[in-house]
Chain A
Amino acid sequence: MLHFSDLLQYTDVFFSGLMTTVELTLLTTILGIALGTSCAATRQYGHPIGQRTVTVYVELIRNTPFIVQLFFIFFGLPSLGLKLSPWQASMIALTINLGAYSTEIIRAGLNSIPKGQIEAAKVLGMTFRQTLTRIIFTPAFEKIYPALTSQCIIVMLGSAVISQISVEDLTYAANLVQSRNFRAFESYLVTAFLYLGLAIALRFIFNQIGKRLFAYREAR
């Protein structure tokens, strides 16, 4: 017999866990994309030293498990004197992780911009910064927008791991509830649906922003 009603008294726990996940997701999505954008631009157009630094960062993150990155930041950094709360450590780990993956994605977008576009901006007298923000970014992001959206969702789902350093996120809530009432099936099923809902919501938000950003697509 299933007893979903046994979960009702834990609504608050689930809700607060959900909010923590939402909050971290929104924050790290914004920061991670910002980080990925600057790293991608550096890797594509920057000074050779900057390019190499970005390459090392991206490869380091993409070739190690997220949980190890998280543990390193939370348990490892204090020995260098940097003590972070679980929430802070998670925020940093998630941002760094999304930053690395989105660097690769966004760089593919930058790569897709024909050289002629940049030259056209140059011969019109634009600075490189103006060229980047006015000419390159919009079509570049349009190209890779679906991939970027998926990556942000992957990172959001992957954030379940932060419950391991006792951030009270959605997964933490599920663990807590099932340890109290032993309704593992119900707890995790509800949690799974909440994550699914979050993923759908995140995709929806991305689509709405995309519609604004790439309105010219519709127009032509």
Chain B
Amino acid sequence: MSLVNLHQVHKYYGDHHVLKGIDLDINAGEVISIIGKSGSGKSTLLRCINGLEEYQQGGITLDGNEVTTEDIQVRRLALSVGMIFQNFNLFPHMTVGENIMLAPTIVLKKSKAEAADIAKAMLEKVGLAEKFDSYPEKLSGGQQQRVAIARALAMSPKVLLCDEITSALDPELVGEVLKVLEQLAKEGMTLILVTHEMNFARDVGSRVVFMHKGKVWEQGDSKTLLSDPQTDELKQFIGAVL
């Protein structure tokens, strides 16, 4: 059974039809890159998967659970889906360690000591072990994003959703974040990324999903799809970004 399943998902913002019947099946361990023009509905799609946005028709299941925007359901989903944002969204009044420990302690009800161990292990993983007691403001964008990844990993999610997580970074800081993602992909983490990093999508990703006008316009194995696009729209898009 697939880990994430979308069946004929339609989403409207008022009269604005943003997702027009999305069908998508994602298996555990896949690294999916969602690409497409601005406004094609990439973020909306991602935010529907973990219940941040409501959809009006169709169905989404995650690990067998139906996805809805009900509070209880969103909290249950949060146990298996992590999300990383473009602007990090670290909590400014907490140290890096506290940022990571918070959810394991108050959501998973782990002890302080246990949560601290998890936090240290996750920081180690993203290469920031020495920043445990720093405040987010003191870190570079790349470091902040790696802390955000560590914070999501501390909940041991089955899927990580990443919405353009390198777009707010200075070019020289993009690499360190992508390296962490690559490592996660190697370890078998399921990743669903909205990204403009075509090289990353091709080299690390397993599948590329091209969104156009609220539809999954074309999808397939990342190397094949990017080197041999079938639709004119994807050809045009690849031509424009490369």
Contacts and interface: CB of A to CB of B under 8 A. Distances in A.
Does B associate with A? yes
Nearest to B133: A219
Interface in A160-185: none
Interface stretch (B82-90, B194-202, B213-221, B224-232): B82-90
B74 A116 contact: no
A120 B152 CA distance: 9
A125 B93 contact: no
Given A219-B135, A220-B135, A122 B91 contact: no
A123 B52 contact: yes
A116 B87 contact: yes
A120 B91 contact: yes
A120 B92 CA distance: 12
Contact of A126 (B90, B92, B107, B135): B107
B103 interface: yes
Contacts, number: 67
Contacts of A59: none
Contact of B103 (A116, A126, A128): A126
B110 to A, nearest CB: 13
Interface residues of B, number: 30
A193 interface: no
Contact of B106 (A130, A142, A216): A130
B83 A123 contact: yes
Contacts of B95: 216
A125 B85 contact: no
Interface in A90-137: 114, 116-117, 119-120, 122-128, 130, 134-135
Contacts of A125: 75, 78-79, 103, 107-108, 155
A63 to B, nearest CB: 35
Contacts of A139: 92-93
B52 A119 contact: yes
B138 A220 contact: yes
B78 A117 contact: no
A135 B94 CA distance: 9
Contacts of A130: 106-107
A139 B71 CA distance: 24
B137 interface: yes
Interface string B86-130: 010111111100000011001110000000000000000000000
A53 interface: no
A11 interface: no
A113 to B, nearest CB: 10
Contacts of A119: 52, 83, 85, 89
A16 interface: no
A124 B85 contact: no
B81 interface: yes
B163 to A, nearest CB: 11
Contacts of A120: 83, 85, 89-91
A122 B135 contact: no
A138 interface: yes
Given A134-B106, A219-B135, A124 B71 contact: no
User: Which one of A116, A119, A123 has the greatest number of beta carbons of chain B within 10 Å?
Assistant: A123
B104 to A, nearest CB: 9
User: Which one of B81, B87, B92, B135 has the greatest number of beta carbons of chain A within 10 Å?
Assistant: B92
B33 interface: no
Contacts of B78: 122-125
Given A124-B155, A125-B75, A216-B94, A117 B137 contact: no
Contacts of A122: 52, 74, 78
Contacts of A117: 89, 91
B143 interface: no
A218 B71 CA distance: 36
Nearest to B83: A123
Interface of A: 114, 116-117, 119-120, 122-128, 130, 134-135, 138-139, 142, 214, 216, 219-220
8 nearest A-B pairs in the assembled complex, by CB-CB distance: A125-B78, A120-B89, A124-B103, A220-B135, A125-B107, A123-B83, A116-B89, A138-B93
